[in-house]
Structure 1
Amino acid sequence: MSLQPTLTVYEALDSATVNGQSIKEMFAPYAEFGVTVTVTTVNNELPQGSLATTDFVSILIPGSSGKTSGGTTRTLGVVGRNGAIGARPARIGMVSDADGAIGAIAVGLKLAQMKARGDHLPGDVLATTHLSTDAPMSLNDGIPFMGMPVSSATMNTYEVSPEMDAILSLDASKGNSIIKQRGFAISPTAMQGYILRVSPDLVKIMESTTGKPAVTWPISQQDITPYDNGLYHFNSIMQPHVATSAPVVGVALTARSVVGGNDSSANHEIDIAEAVRFCVEVAKRFTVAAPGYSCEFYNTVEWQKIRAVYPDLTVFQGNGVQAS
Structure 2
Amino acid sequence: MALNSTLAVYETLDSATVTGQTIARMFDRWVELGIKVTVTTVHGEAPCDRSKITDFVSILIPGTAGKTVGGASRTLGIVGRCGAIGGRPVRIGMISDADGPIGAIACALKLAKMKAAGDHLPGDVMVTTHITKDAPITYNDGVPFAGSVVNSATMNRYEVFPEMDAILSIDASKGNSIVKQRGFAITPTAMQGYILRVSPDLVRIMESTTGRAAFTLPISLQDITPYDNGLYHFNSIMQPHVGTSAPVVGVALTASSVVGGSDSSASHEIDIAESVRFCLEVAKRFTEASPDQPCEFFNAAEWTKIRQRYPDLSVFQTQGSVPAAV
1:178-189 equivalent positions in 2, closer than 5 A: 178-189=178-189
Structure 1 residue 294 displacement after superposition? 2.2
1:1-324 equivalent positions in 2, closer than 5 A: 1-47=1-47, 49-324=49-324
CA 1:63 to 1:176, structure 2 compared with 1: closer, same or farther past 3 Å?
same
Q: Retained in 1: the 8 A contact 2:48–2:149?
A: no
Structure 1 residue 49 displacement after superposition? 3.3
Letter of the aligned partner of 1:153 in structure 2?
Answer: A
Identity %: 73
After superposition, the C-alpha distances for 1:23-49 in whole angstroms (9 at most, x for unaligned) are 111011111111110000010114253
Classify the secondary structure of the residue corresponding to 1:278.
Answer: helix
After superposition, the C-alpha distances for 1:125-151 in whole angstroms (9 at most, x for unaligned) are 000000000111000011000011100
Classify the secondary structure of the residue corresponding to 2:249.
Answer: strand
TM-score by length of 1: 0.99
**Structure 2 CA distance, aligned partners of 1:62 and 1:121?**
8
**Structure 2 CA distance, aligned partners of 1:223 and 1:47?**
22
Letter of the aligned partner of 1:17 in structure 2?
Answer: T
**Structure 2 CA distance, aligned partners of 1:121 and 1:220?**
34
Classify the secondary structure of the residue corresponding to 2:72.
Answer: coil
Structure 1 residue 52 displacement after superposition? 1.8
Higher alpha-carbon deviation: 288-297 or 4-13: 288-297
TM-score by length of 2: 0.98
**Structure 2 CA distance, aligned partners of 1:149 and 1:277?**
30
Classify the secondary structure of the residue corresponding to 1:114.
Answer: helix
**Structure 1 CA distance, aligned partners of 2:211 and 2:287?**
23
After superposition, the C-alpha distances for 1:215-267 in whole angstroms (9 at most, x for unaligned) are 00110000000000000000000000010000000000000000000100000
After superposition, the C-alpha distances for 1:83-123 in whole angstroms (9 at most, x for unaligned) are 00000111100000000000000000000000000000000
**Structure 2 CA distance, aligned partners of 1:118 and 1:227?**
41
**Structure 2 CA distance, aligned partners of 1:214 and 1:248?**
18
Structure 1 residue 321 displacement after superposition? 1.1
Q: Retained in 1: the 8 A contact 2:92–2:264?
A: yes
**Structure 1 CA distance, aligned partners of 2:52 and 2:136?**
11
Give the unaligned 5+ runs of structure 1: none
Classify the secondary structure of the residue corresponding to 2:27.
Answer: helix
CA 1:52 to 1:116, structure 2 compared with 1: closer, same or farther past 3 Å?
same
Q: Retained in 1: the 8 A contact 2:39–2:56?
A: yes
Give the unaligned 5+ runs of structure 2: none
**Structure 2 CA distance, aligned partners of 1:238 and 1:225?**
8
Letter of the aligned partner of 2:112 in structure 1?
Answer: A
Letter of the aligned partner of 1:25 in structure 2?
Answer: R
**Structure 1 CA distance, aligned partners of 2:160 and 2:201?**
23
**Structure 1 CA distance, aligned partners of 2:35 and 2:50?**
34
Structure 1 residue 210 displacement after superposition? 0.2
**Structure 1 CA distance, aligned partners of 2:131 and 2:264?**
16
**Structure 2 CA distance, aligned partners of 1:48 and 1:102?**
24
**Structure 2 CA distance, aligned partners of 1:254 and 1:109?**
23
Structure 1 residue 290 displacement after superposition? 1.4
Classify the secondary structure of the residue corresponding to 1:129.
Answer: strand
How large is the RMSD of aligned CA atoms in angstroms? Answer: 0.7
